Structure 1
Amino acid sequence: MILSRNLLFTIGRNWVVVVCSALLIGIALAGLLAPLIAPNDPSLVDLTHKLKGPSEQFPLGTDQLGRCILSRLLYGTRVSLSIALLIVSSSLMIGLIVGCTSGYAGGKLDSILMRACDAILAFPSLILAISLIAIWGPGWQQMVIALVVVMSVYYTRFIRGLVTNLKQQTYIAAAKISGTSSFRIVYRHIIPNLLPPLLIVVTLEIGWVVMDISALSFIGLGVQSPTPEWGAMINEGKSFIRTHPRLMIAPGLLIFCMVALLNLVGEALGTKRGGRQ
């Protein structure tokens, strides 16, 4: 708990974290409130307005099907962030359960679980995800399952290493001597001390997941048209890169800003935490 308070104190004092977090919250709110602030229906096809330039009705213009780019970006923010949070939270939960079990129990169970993780880690993560989606078929549900399978392994190994170090601390030995159950030791003493490093890792990983989602949607394995999603929007606009580059630039810039802000927050937290140790 002391580590958690120190991390919150660091967040409050670091202006990079505060500014970037405020911008991230603004982007997330824009996606959350998309039904209220979007100027047009993101899926409405109107060929009479196709490839129109910016105007009062269409602030960022329209795409090849006459759909409002700004509206699709706002709804795409909602789709991309919700899927990314679903993937990260599911992977973290699996990694937390398996990693804590493996690291605290040790012995043969730890060896079996880690060998299974090594077998999955032997393949590049994105290639493995693409292979799984190719077997199951394209779609955002299959993409979520594939990325959760891949990411949960990384969380498992990371958390297992932290738990292995924490269980050697004197306060854990004292809790064992006092008769505290293993579940209570993990829940009350180990997991709270995992939260600060996990917050840093999760902040960085969300950016990578956003890029993975966009990449898989770009190649047609993730979110399917006509659902607005950043990677899918770039894919749809690639045929018009010479004549109407804004179709690719707008979602590309949004992906860049989201990933850059998340990386700045994660690196700032990691640097500050590393400096205190």
Structure 2
Amino acid sequence: MDSIRQIFLVAGRQRIIVICVLLLSAIVLAGLLAPILAPNDPVLVDLSHKLEGPSAQFPLGTDQLGRCILSRLLYGTQVSLSLALLIVCSCVVLGLVIGCLAGYAGGKIDSIIMRGCDAVLAFPALILAISLIAIWGAGWKQMALALIIVQSVYYARFIRGIVSNLKQQNYIVAARICGTSPFRMMLRHIIPNLLPSLFIVVTLEIGWVIMDISALSFIGLGVQSPTPEWGAMINEGKSFLRSHPRLMIVPGLMIFCMVALLNILGETLGERKGLTKSIRKIGRVSEQKVGGTR
């Protein structure tokens, strides 16, 4: 009976993974094909069509400036996902450099780097990002740089924990005895072994980054009007919540669906790899336990 139940569990998880990947692919494809799929110009202001309901010309209606909501939603998908990928990829690169250096070198270098990370982690991530943007000024470039600085610390701590564990493995010790250089050791032995765990973390973290981008744009510190972006669209529609709630509901549903799909996919992959308990959104929900992180 246990084996049969295990088969059904594996099949169910595979089905969930396939469904999540297909839905995420559809959203990404819609964003990439926004110039083709969008029925109207997303930034064209036409006050003669403001706050219209769904129609053949405007499938999801128009906003307070007469702009097509569907067109802005499609282009907003492109903007939000591009920014999220840019931020996450930059964080991964920085996290790999800092985490590998701290984890492999150990000693004083590790202590100095981790104390610096602790100083950043002492502040709530979003509050620190808002503070940096307030100093530099509002805009998507400043927002991206602030989030990269704040988020890369989580990756650095996570990667440092894994590297600290891996360098004690017998095959790493043997390679070191054979005279393998630290750089070659990283490329051939350590980084390939931490990539599966890092992939799951990235899958989970993209959803958080999308929410951070939307939150900062909602309060006017991120993507600026008239550029379409999900959080900025919610901000623009908040004055019409009672009379035309779709202005906020439509982009809000996109954020919800994207984040939910990414979290379900990441959690499912983590369960299959046995990493769910050790990888909890890089310390956002619970302290990172992988590799004896302090």
Query: TM-score, length-normalised on structure 2?
Result: 0.89
Asked whether the equivalents of residues 13 and 268 of structure 2 are also in contact (C-alpha less than 8 Å), the reply is: no
The 5 A counterparts of 1:121-160 are: 121-160=121-160
Residue 253 of structure 1 is matched in structure 2 by 253
Q: Deviations over 1:60-94 (max 9, x none)?
A: 00000000000000000000000000000000100
What is the 5 A alignment of 1:172-211? 172-211=172-211
Q: Quote the residue 2:288 is aligned against.
A: none
1:63 aligns with 2:63: yes
From the superposition, tell whether residues 126 and 200 of structure 1 become closer, same or farther in structure 2 (CA, over 3 Å).
Answer: same
Identity %: 75
* Amino acid of the structure 1 residue aligned with 2:267: E
Q: CA deviation at 1:195?
A: 0.6
Question: Cα distance, 1:107 vs. partner?
Answer: 1.2
C-alpha separation in 1, matches of 2:125 and 2:206: 15
CA distance in 2, matches of 1:177, 1:111: 25
1:1-277 equivalences under 5 Å are 14-274=14-274
Tell me, in whole angstroms, the C-alpha distance in 2 between the residues paired with 1:154 and 1:208. Answer: 12
Provide runs of 4+ in structure 1 moved above 4 Å.
Answer: 10-13
Distance 2:153 2:177 in 1: 32
1:24–1:258 contact (8 Å) kept in structure 2: yes
- Counterpart CA distance in 2 for 1:118 and 1:189 is 28
Could you say what the CA RMSD is over the residues aligned between the two structures, in angstroms? 1.6
Conserved? CA contact 2:32–2:78, under 8 Å? yes
How many angstroms does 1:12 deviate by? 11
TM-score (norm 1): 0.94
The answer as to whether partners of 1:11 and 1:269 remain within 8 angstroms in 2 is no
Given that 1:136 and 1:142 are in contact with CA atoms closer than 8 Å, whether structure 2 keeps it comes out as yes
- The number of aligned residues is 268
Cα offsets for 1:162-192 (capped at 9, x unmatched): 0000000000011111111111111100000
CA shift, 1:264, in A, is 0.3
> 5+ unaligned residues in a row in structure 2: which ranges?
1-9, 279-294
Cα 1:11–1:42 shift into 2, 3 Å: farther
CA separation in 2, counterparts of 1:11 and 1:57?
A: 43
The 1:12/1:188 distance shift into structure 2, 3 A limit, reads farther
* CA separation of 1:11 and 1:71: change in aligned 2, threshold 3 A: farther
Q: Note if contact 1:133-1:146 (Cα within 8 Å) is conserved in structure 2.
A: yes
Q: Any idea what SS the aligned residue of 1:44 has? A: coil
3-state DSSP of counterpart to 1:185: helix
Structure of greater relative contact order (alpha carbons < 8 Å, 6+ residues apart)? 1
Q: Which moved more, 1:175-184 or 1:227-236?
A: 175-184
